Structure 1
Amino acid sequence: MTASLDISNSRPHRAKSFAQTQQTPFSFRLFQPVIGRDLKPSYREYRALISGLSQGDQIMDDFVEWMFSNSPKVGKQQFDQALHQGIHTVKDCPESLKRLFKHVEHTPEWFDQTLIDDALAFIHGTGTYANHVLRDAALMGGYLLSGFNQALVMTGALNKGASKRVGETYKWWIDCTEPQGLQRFGVGFKSTLHVRFIHALVRRNLAKSEKWDSDEWGLPICQVDMAATNLAFSVVFLSGLRALGIFATPHESKAVMHLWRYVGWLMGVDEQWLLASERESIALLYHTTLTQSAPDWTSQELGKALSIEPLSRHYANLESVRRLYAYHKHLSVSRYFLGQKKMQQLGLPKQTLPWFPLITAPINVVSYTAQRLVPTIHSALQQRGRQAQLDMLAQFGEHGHGTIQPDKHHPAHV
C-alpha cells in the first residue's frame, strides 16, 4: 500500500492512478484471447510507465548538456560532422559524442536485415494507404491524447501550420523505408539521428521553460511518449491496414514490428519499450494511453489544423479540385477509424461519412489477396506502391524536402 501511495504522489497529473488503470471497458476484455493477456497493466508495468514519464534519452541528453556547457554552435557542427562523415573525422571530439556514436554504430544483437528488407517490401506494396493510416488514424487520433500535445504546441505546431510538420514527418518516414536506408550512412539512419538530436534540444529547453508544467505533464518528449509514437508506425499501421482490407501475413507483421523496433532503438527509445511481437505491443500501446489526459483545446486546434492541411498541397494540374478531394477523402478516413464522437472532440465535422474506406476496403481484400498469388504482379504492386509514396512528397512542396530544420523561434534552434 505504501508503494502505491508513493507512486501516486510522484506521477504527473496527466496519468491515471493505478486503481483507475484497472477499470477497463467490457469491450476491451474481448481482446484478451487475441493478444493472450489481460489488457490491464500489472503494478510493475504501471510503475515503469510512471517512471518513463520522467525519463528522457540519457545518452543524447548528456551530449546536449555538454554542448550548452561549452559552445552550442560548435557542438552542433561536431554532431553534424559525425553523423554525415563519421565520428573519426571529428577533431577534439568530446567523450559524450563518442559514446553516442559508439552506441548507435554497434548494431543490437537482435537486428535482422532480412526482416528489415521483408518489412520494406510489404510497406512499399501498401502504397498511399500507408499514408491514410499514419495520417488519418495514428496522427489525428493521437491528438486526442492531450498530454502528448503540449510539446507539439510549444514547438509551433499550431502557428506554423500542419503542412510543415506533416511534410517533414512524411519525409523522415520515406527515408526510414528506403532500401538500405537504415544502414550507417543511409538516409533513414541519418534522418532518425537528426530527429533524435532535435528531440533532445526540445526536451532540454522546454523543461527549463517556465511555461512547462512538469507536475502536470512530466518530461517533454519522455520515454513513454516516444514509445507510443514508435508504436503508431507499427501496431497502429498494421491494424489500420487490416481495416482497409490489406492483411499482413504473420511473417510480414513480424517484419514490420522488427523494422520499427530498430528505428525506435536508433531514436533513443529504451529497449524495455521495444517489443518484438505485435500482440505484446498492442497491450503496451494501450498502457501508454493510460498516461494521457483527456481531449482538450489542443486536441481541437491540432485536429482542425491537420484537417485543412490538404488544402495547401501542390498538384501539377486541377489543383483546386484535387485539394478539395484530398480534404474530404482524409476526413472520411478519420471518420472511419475514429467515429463520430472523437471527430467532434477533435473539432472536425461530425456529419462526415466514411465513404472512401467503405468503397476501397472491399476492393483491397480481393485485389491484394489475388496479387499475392502471382509473384510478378505482386512485385509490380510493390514498385507502383513505392512510386506513389514517393510522388506524395511533391505535394508538400518545400516541406517534403527534408526533416526538421528549427528556425530561431523553435525550442531546438541553435
Structure 2
Amino acid sequence: MTAIAHPRPTPQRVRPFEKTRVKTPGWLKLILGRELAPTRAEYDRVVDALWDGDPAMDKMLDWMYASDPALARRQFKQAMEEGIERVENAPEALKTFFRTVETPPAWVDRQLLDEGMRFIHGTGLASTYVLRDLALMGGYLLSGFNQSLLMTGALNRGTAQRVAETGKWWMDCTTPGGLERFGEGFKTTLHVRLVHALVRRNLAARPDWDSAKWGLPVSQIDMVATYLGFSAVMLGGLRKLGLPVTPRESKAVMHLWSYACWLMGVEEKWLVFSERDAIVLLNHTFMTQSKPDDTSREMAIALANEPLERHFPSFQALRRRLYYHQHLSVSRFFLGPDKMAQLGLPENILPWYPWLTLLPRFATYSLRHWLPGQRAEQERRGRREQEDALASLFGDKTHGVIQPGANHPAHT
C-alpha cells in the first residue's frame, strides 16, 4: 500500500502518528498475524478519508438541489419503493444511482447472508445488549463521532425514539429477504443513506461546523467504524457474554454487514470479510477520534436514561427501573469503571447482570444451538425477544426509521 501523495489537511481530532505506535500484545499479534498499529501508509489513508463522503449519493444530491429538492425526494422515494422504471421521465442522475445499488457486487453470497441473519436471530437479547451497551455506549467515548449526532439532536433529545429507529433498521436488515431489492432492509438502508448525505451536505455548510477540527460530517471513516460496530464488535461482545461463535458464523455475520453497509454507502475498499481484518481496521479508525468530552457525557447519560421511557404492558415502573440498572451493569461489564466515569455514568455500578447470567446463557444457548431439532426453535424464540424489545422502545408510535422534521439538517 502506498502513502497518500498529496493528503488533505489532517483534522485536529486525529491522534498524531507517533502516538499510534503502541506495541501489540504477543497473543493478539499471533491471532491477527500482524501489529495492530497502522503503518504510515495505512495511517495516511485512513486520515485522508475523513474528507470523503458518499460519492454516489453526494452526486445525486447535487442533482437534487440543482432541480426541485422536494420533487426530487419524492422521485427518490418512488424509485426506492417501486423501482426506477416506475418513475415517469426519471432523471439520469436518479437512474445512475439506482442502477448502481440494484446491481449487487459479485462477491455477495445469498446463503451467507441468510446464515448471518439466522445466527443473529438465535442470539436473542444478547446481541441487542452488545450493540446498545457496548457498541453505542462505548462509541460515545470517541468524541469525533458525536459532533454530527449532537448537531442533529439525534441521540440527546428523544433518545428512545432514535434508538428505536436504529433498531428498526437493524431488524429490517436481519429479516430473511430483507436485503433483497424490495425487502424492507434494502429500502430502509437507502432511506438512511439519503438522510446521512443530507446531514453531511447541510452540516458542512453551517458556520458552527468546524471542518478544521472534525473533517467532513458523516465521513467514510465514521461510517466504517459504525459498520464494524454491527459486525466485529457484536461478535466479540457475544463471546464475552458467553455465546460461542463458530468461524462459519463469524464469516456469515461479517458478510451480512459488509453488504448492508455497501448499500449504506461504505466504499468497497473499506469492506472487510474476516474478524481479524475488522479488528485491525477498527483500531485504525479509533486513531481518528478525540478523547471523551462534554458531548460524550451528554450522549451517554441520555442513553443510560432511555429505559426509563420504555413502554411495557404490565409493571411498567418496576420494569423501567430494572432495565435501567440492567443496561448500566452490562456497560460496566464491557467498559470497566474508568470508562464509565469518563462517560459521566454512575461509578458504583457492578456488572451484576452479566455475572449472574453468563453460565446459564452459555449452557442454554449451547444446548439449543447444537441439540438436534432445537436450533430452529432457538432462532424463533430469539427473534420474538428482539421484536418485543423493539416494541417496548416504540410504544404506541409507528415503527419506522428517521423522518427528519423541520429543524433537522436532513429536512428538505
TM-score between both structures, scaled by the size of structure 2: 0.97
Q: Matched residues in 1 for 2:41 and 2:372: separation?
A: 47
1:286 matched to 2:296: no
Could you tell me which residue of structure 1 aligns to residue 175 of structure 2? 178
Deviations 1:125-151 (A, max 9, x none): 000111100000000000000011000
Three-state SS of the structure 1 residue aligned to 2:291 is: coil
Three-state SS of the structure 2 residue aligned to 1:375 is: coil
Paired amino acid for 1:120: M
Deviations 1:360-396 (A, max 9, x none): 1122222222222213222111110001111112112
Paired amino acid for 1:334: S
Correspondences of 1:64-79 after superposition (within 5 Å): 64-79=61-76
Q: How far apart are residue 5 of structure 1 and its match?
A: 11
Verify the 8 A CA contact 1:265 1:271 in the aligned structure 2: yes
Deviations 1:3-49 (A, max 9, x none): 89975x81101011222222x1x565541111111101112211210
Could you tell me which residue of structure 1 aligns to residue 356 of structure 2? 359
Q: How far apart are residue 69 of structure 1 and its match?
A: 1.2
Deviations 1:121-175 (A, max 9, x none): 1100000111100000000000000011000000013552211210100010000
Of the three residues 263, 267, 278, the one matched with 2:264 is 267
Of the three residues 289, 313, 317, the one matched with 2:314 is 317
Where structure 1 has 5 or more consecutive residues not aligned to the other structure, the ranges are none
Verify the 8 A CA contact 1:393 1:400 in the aligned structure 2: no
How many residue pairs align between the two structures? Answer: 409
Deviations 1:284-308 (A, max 9, x none): 0011000000000000000000000
Cα–Cα, structure 1 residues 308 and 243, in superposed 2: closer, same or farther, change >3 Å? Answer: same
Q: Matched residues in 2 for 1:202 and 1:145: separation?
A: 20
Could you tell me which residue of structure 1 aligns to residue 410 of structure 2? 412
Deviations 1:205-239 (A, max 9, x none): 00000010010000000000000000000000000
Q: Identity of paired residues, percent? A: 52
Verify the 8 A CA contact 2:190 2:264 in the aligned structure 1: yes
Correspondences of 1:13-412 after superposition (within 5 Å): 13-22=12-21, 24=22, 26=23, 28=25, 30-157=27-154, 160-396=157-393, 397-398=395-396, 401-412=399-410
Could you tell me which residue of structure 1 aligns to residue 11 of structure 2? 12
Q: Matched residues in 2 for 1:245 and 1:309: separation?
A: 26
Q: Matched residues in 2 for 1:413 and 1:125: separation?
A: 37
Paired amino acid for 2:264: M
Verify the 8 A CA contact 1:167 1:400 in the aligned structure 2: no
Q: Matched residues in 2 for 1:67 and 1:104: separation?
A: 18
Q: How far apart are residue 324 of structure 1 and its match?
A: 0.4
Q: Matched residues in 1 for 2:303 and 2:248: separation?
A: 33
Q: How far apart are residue 247 of structure 1 and its match?
A: 1.3
Deviations 1:48-69 (A, max 9, x none): 1012100000110111111111
Q: Matched residues in 1 for 2:397 and 2:197: separation?
A: 22
TM-score between both structures, scaled by the size of structure 1: 0.96
Verify the 8 A CA contact 1:245 1:362 in the aligned structure 2: yes
Q: How far apart are residue 204 of structure 1 and its match?
A: 0.3
Cα–Cα, structure 1 residues 29 and 143, in superposed 2: closer, same or farther, change >3 Å? Answer: farther
Paired amino acid for 2:43: Y
Paired amino acid for 2:209: W
Higher mean C-alpha displacement, 88-97 vs 312-321:
88-97
Where structure 2 has 5 or more consecutive residues not aligned to the other structure, the ranges are none
Q: How far apart are residue 103 of structure 1 and its match?
A: 0.6
Deviations 1:334-362 (A, max 9, x none): 00000001001111001100000011112
Verify the 8 A CA contact 1:332 1:355 in the aligned structure 2: yes
Q: Matched residues in 2 for 1:125 and 1:97: separation?
A: 38
